[in-house]
Amino acid sequence: MNKETIGQEFRALQLFICNELERVDGTGKFSEDAWDRTEGGGGKTRTIRNGSVIEKGGVAFSEVYGPVSDEMKSQLKMEGNQFYATGVSIVLHPNNPHVPIIHMNVRYFELDNGIHWFGGGIDLTPHYVVQEQAVLFHQKLRSVCNKYDESFYPKFKEWADEYFYLPHRGETRGVGGIFFDHLNNHFQLNKEQLFRFCVDLGESFPFLYEEQVNWGKNKAVSESEKQWMNYRRARYAEFNLAFDRGTKFGLYSGGRTESILMSMPPVAEWEYDYQPDPESPEGKTLAYLKEKHTYL
């Protein structure tokens, strides 16, 4: 399996996910923005806004290549002279605080020295944590993982707990999910099997999200709940700008800024030293995110 085939299938995955998300949303439609990278490659950024469920969302495909710059070597700790990278990245911000924010990405990276790997992950960021929703999400992720290796879910869940964490806040970004990186000959799976795992995860994405949407999309929303959603969106923005590896890679590799920052919420709020009532739903969600949890 060569890099061109992987790129083609990731592009097909992007289109599949967009079609399914339009079905889930009901009214929203994706528009596409094609872009080129001066150093080599480009991408297709597909965005949706003001739908029945999704206030702002994006499903981005990129396929970039070229010289490994000194900045990339320094910031990303990589060796080699030429690189190739392709992947699909998704972030959806709903318009109802009872529907969670969701993220997923799958990616492939190759250097001219023969080093290559797969990476990716999916995580759920509720505005209000509902234990049953989180359990359902993790059950479905385990089912996808178990088709390839039963050690995937516990290991990747642990990596997600470590990765999707805001150390300056002392809290997790949400209820976690799975995260993996630099997978090549791990777990006795070959290159094609690891790729198939990435595609399977991607094809599962819209159906995982549909379950979360159906759980909360019809719930009534108060102004205070809307404001809390904006506080939670601010936490999401903090993580992506300060810690997300994909964001950093895109910026340091000369990627397209608009596509890289597609993950930012449409509106977010930072209120100085905001402290919700500990007994309120907001206070309980915040306390929940400061603890580690096992869902299965």
3-state secondary structure of 129: coil
- Is residue 294 included in any domain, yes or no? no
- Domain presence at residue 34: yes
Domain annotation covers residue 267: yes
**Cβ 137 vs Cβ 208: under 8 Å:** yes
Strands 54-67 and 41-49 come out as antiparallel
Count of structural domains within the chain: 1
Residue 118 lies in a domain: yes
Residue at 113 is within a domain? yes
- Residue of 93, 98, 103, 138 with catalytic role: 103
* Residue 169: CATH number of its domain: 3.40.1500.10
Global confidence as pTM = 0.94
Range of the structural domain that residue 277 is part of: 3-288
**Dihedral angle computed from the Cα positions of residues 50, 90, 37 and 4, in that order, rounded to the nearest 10 degrees:** -130
- Beta strands of the chain (E only): which ranges? 31-36, 41-49, 54-67, 82-94, 101-111, 116-125, 165-166, 171-172, 176-183
Q: pLDDT of the chain along its 296 residues, tens only?
A: 899 999 999 999 999 999 999 999 999 999 999 999 888 999 999 999 999 999 999 999 999 999 887 777 666 566 778 899 999 999 999 999 999 999 999 999 999 888 899 999 999 999 999 999 999 999 999 999 999 999 999 999 999 999 999 999 999 999 999 999 988 866 678 999 999 999 999 999 999 999 999 999 999 999 999 999 999 999 999 999 999 888 887 787 777 888 888 899 999 999 999 999 999 999 999 999 999 999 98
Query: Residue 295: inside a domain, yes or no?
Result: no
**Domain-embedded: residue 296:** no
Number of H helices, E strands in the chain: 9, 9
Is there a catalytic annotation at residue 138? no
Asked if 24 and 210 count as a contact pair (C-beta separation under 8 A), the reply is yes
